[in-house]
Amino acid sequence: MKNTPVIIKDSSQLAEGDIVRTHGMRVRLDRCTTRDDSGRTVYAWSGTVLNLDEVRADRHVPMSFLRTYKGNTVVRDDEWTVQGNTFANWLVENPS
């Protein structure tokens, strides 16, 4: 994984284009949805795994966890969801 410096953000501070490090993956955040759960906002960011070859080789997560389907057809094999509320903190690459 790259030696890019990181900052810590909670789920409410994440933004489109952020690169989150989680489970050995570098996930670029693409789209956010929110929902209310017991009076707290839960953020769910759909993202693209940028280091897919490394994830495959090192078996960071099962590859089936990265697949999305439309019916019985795999439409993506590089998607990960970063989700949580303000209590969840994330390591985000800081390019500056």
pLDDT per position as a tens digit, 27-84: 999 999 999 999 999 999 999 999 999 999 999 899 999 999 999 999 999 999 999 9
Every domain of the chain and the residues it spans: 6-93
| Phi, psi for residue 28 in degrees, rounded to 5 | -85, 125
DSSP state of 93: E
pTM of the model as a whole: 0.90
Whether domain 6-93 has CATH 2.60.40.2300: the reply is no
DSSP state of 60: S
DSSP state of 53: H
Q: What is the pLDDT of residue 4?
A: 84
Q: For residue 40, what are its two tokens? A: 């707290």
